Amino acid sequence: MAAGLTGYESLARYYDVLMADVPYRRWIKFIDSFARRTGKRRARILDAGCGTGTVAVGLARRGHRVTAFDQSAEMLALADAKARRAKVDLLLLQCDFNLWAGQYDVIISTCDGINHILSVQELVNFFRKASSGLSRGGFLLFDVNSPYKFARVLADNVFYWQVSGLHVVWTNRYQYPYNTAILNIFAQTEPGVFTHAKTEVIERCYKPATLVNYLRKSGFKRVCLFDNYKGPLRSARTDRITVVAQK
């Protein structure tokens, strides 16, 4: 028998298990290197769409002053617990990509948060707000799922895997520019009893050239593309593209 949950309440409780293979340490080191290029030992960083706070906490542990926001109260509760365990200060806010305020040295959005912005106008608004909210020479740094990943990896496929006692079925539908993923997660709580969490995640595919164009029109003077928080982007056949834009 199964009990059902829907939405981000269900996803939040399993999020860190599902993201266990993400190389967060490399991401944090990469972001930290740009934060230090601002000349600040304790850079003011805004984490937009922070999820359960792994990156935000990691940057706070490196001495930065981190503010983080997410729309999901469940995600923020987990981020708060994570910050308390790490004994770091983390200012958490519940809002969306266009309702935050303040001045920062670095603004970040990891785990394809930008792909969750489905409206081009809302994306441009965020870029403009980020430009005005950054100190001179500051950085906007984010990653996106690549067009290659949407079209060639996810496509119209069904994926199944097991991890840490969870059974996950991912049914994907891609019709440019939108990607819809239906996640059904089953967790056994006792013999013969499973909880069932179902979540729909919709993302928009953004081509790198389009992002660069929007960023330059929003006031960023330099835009660089990297391959998943590593070296410069040299091939379109990568799953994740990291974008660094400097004001």
- Tens digits of residue pLDDT in 150-178: 999 999 999 999 988 899 999 999 999 99
pLDDT at 5: 36
pLDDT at 104: 98
Averaged pLDDT, 36-58? 96
DSSP letter (8 states) at residue 192: T
Domain ranges (residues) in the chain: 19-147+206-246, 149-203
Averaged pLDDT, 67-74? 95
pLDDT tens track for 236-245: 999 999 999 9
DSSP letter (8 states) at residue 147: H
Mean pLDDT of the chain: 94
What is the Cα–Cα distance from 130 to 128, expressed in whole angstroms? Answer: 5
Assess contact for 188 and 166: CB atoms under 8 A: no
pLDDT at 8: 60
Closest CA to 185 of 195, 176, 175: 195
What is the Cα–Cα distance from 179 to 150, expressed in whole angstroms? Answer: 7
Predicted model pTM: 0.95
Q: What is the dihedral of CA 73, 159, 117, 99, to 10 degrees?
A: 10
What is the Cα–Cα distance from 51 to 119, expressed in whole angstroms? Answer: 20
What is the Cα–Cα distance from 110 to 27, expressed in whole angstroms? Answer: 9
pLDDT at 9: 63
Domain 19-147+206-246 has CATH 1.10.10.10: no
Whether residue 7 has pLDDT greater than 90: no
Q: What is the CATH number of domain 149-203?
A: 2.20.25.110
What is the Cα–Cα distance from 121 to 157, expressed in whole angstroms? Answer: 30
